[in-house]
Amino acid sequence: MAVAELSFGTNPYLKEVDGYHLLNLKDVLSVADREEFGVLAANSIRPEIVRGVLRAAFDLNSPVIIQVAESQVGYALKGWFSGDEAQRLNSFSEFVAEEVARLYKEKGYMVPVALHLDHLQKQDELAFHALKAGFTSVELDFSKQPTEDRAEAVELNIQHCSKIIPELHKHGVTIEVEEGEIGEAAVQQAMSEEEIRAQFTRVEHALRLVEGTDPDALAVFVGSAHGWYLRKPIVSFRRIREISVALSEKGFSVPIVLHGGTGLSYEAFHKAIGAGARKFNYATALADIFLRTIASEPSGKGKELIDRMTEEEKRQAQEKGRKSRGPRYVLGQFAEEINALGDFVLKAAEDAVYAHVREMMSQALGSAEKAHLYEGYGRSPLG
């Protein structure tokens, strides 16, 4: 079932912003595909990150995707908002809509903003909670299956997705699907180049997943990974192009998503865009900019707090028998203490995120001054 047009008529859950609503991936990425630029998909796990990203988008007249992952609904949003996961998703959606409305009132123009639930893997019902919370897009990440046969894994992926997609598409909510598990950069460090390349998404598997799910965006594994790269990443821009061309030849208009944007060079972003990638997921860098800014505040209280967060996360990791992943994974647990550092410190963190995102939009992705290409959005090129 093709996705319905997203409107107040098809989707009663949309958050209204003075007659506007947040857009879905099809709305945002179709223009990016036609004009050949990339759109930042920013994992926004603190209010300061949301504000910094949206400020940059409005100031640069750029489209943007605000997203939060299934796992982050637990470790980050739980301390930011009260209630169960469904309530936290709704509160997050309302917060984003309020920030968009505030900037729209301040600037006098709207920019295209999508609201995306990223990496849904464990709780199918969360997709429907996201729909009712006003999210406009969901990634169904069922690439990891109990088989080493990739063709079989694709079929299992299709079966799982097919239980969810029709209801979301009926309401104009777009779907991103994933072929090939996009793992952690730390894991890749222990792998040889041949082992990494052997796991690249194959063209025939990408085609089959798209044929079987009718998605609105496709994430593929081509060598990029989540987290900071511990060595130069092996990214196959050729494979992105091969998949993009094959989809086009089959009549599919499905933009490619590149996960693992943190640590890639501007040249890598440019090559990925040239090969056909349009949505670029960006998480670790934004969280680390926030944490570094907190840690560097003059009184030393911020550093002491981040140190305690780091130790607590290590303790929890040891207790669960996994590797330590860093202080951001206990953000929610320490939300009140972070907030207690005061507005000056938190505004500095927002400003640091803002400056970095401006650079990404203008220099890496080419999305600056593109909002006016969306009918009814953006300021005119003449100001």
Q: What is the pLDDT along the chain (383 residues), one digit of tens a residue?
A: 689 999 999 999 999 998 899 999 999 999 999 999 999 999 999 999 999 999 999 999 999 999 999 999 999 999 999 999 999 999 999 999 999 999 999 999 999 999 999 999 999 999 999 999 999 999 999 988 899 899 999 999 999 999 999 999 999 999 999 997 655 545 555 465 666 666 788 999 999 999 999 999 999 988 655 554 445 667 889 999 999 999 999 999 999 999 876 778 899 999 999 999 999 999 989 999 999 999 999 999 999 999 999 999 999 999 988 888 889 999 999 999 999 999 999 999 999 999 999 999 999 999 999 999 999 999 876 55
Tokens representing 100 are 């968009």
239 vs 276: CA distance, rounded Å: 10
b (16+ CB within 10 A) / e for 266-305: eebbbbbbebbbbbbbbbbbbbbbbbebbbebeeebbeeb
Tokens representing 294 are 């907190």
Quick one: three-class SS letters along the chain? CCCCCCCCCCCCCCCEECCEECECHHHHHHHHHHHCCCEEEEECCCHHHHHHHHHHHHHCCCCEEEEEEHHHHHHCHHHHCCCCHHHHHHHHHHHHHHHHHHHHHHHCCCCCEEEEEEEECCCCHHHHHHHHHCCCEEEECCCCCCCCCHHHHHHHHHHHHCCCHHHHHHCCCEEEEEECCCCEHHHHCCCCHHHHHHCCCCHHHHHHHHHHHCCCEEEECCCCCECCCCCCCCCCHHHHHHHHHHHHHCCCCCCEEECCCCCCCHHHHHHHHHHCEEEEEECHHHHHHHHHHHHCCCCCHHHHHHHHHHHHHHHHHHHHCCCCCCHHHHCHHHHHHHHCCCHHHHHHHHHHHHHHHHHHHHHHHCCCCCHHHCCCCCCCCCC
Name the region of 180 (left: φ>0; alpha: ψ -120 to 50; beta: rest).
left
Predicted pLDDT of residue 185:
46
> Is the CB of residue 30 less than 8 Å from the CB of residue 253?
yes
Tokens representing 22 are 């947040």
**Torsion (CA) 281, 285, 289, 295 in degrees, nearest 10:** 130
Predicted pLDDT of residue 232:
65
> Is the CB of residue 81 less than 8 Å from the CB of residue 88?
yes
At 308, which amino acid appears?
A: R
Query: What is the DSSP pairing of strand 20-21 with strand 256-258?
Result: unpaired
pTM, full prediction: 0.94
67 vs 54: CA distance, rounded Å: 12
Q: Alpha-carbon Rg of the chain, whole angstroms?
A: 20
Predicted pLDDT of residue 296:
96
Predicted pLDDT of residue 103:
98
Total residues belonging to the chain? 383
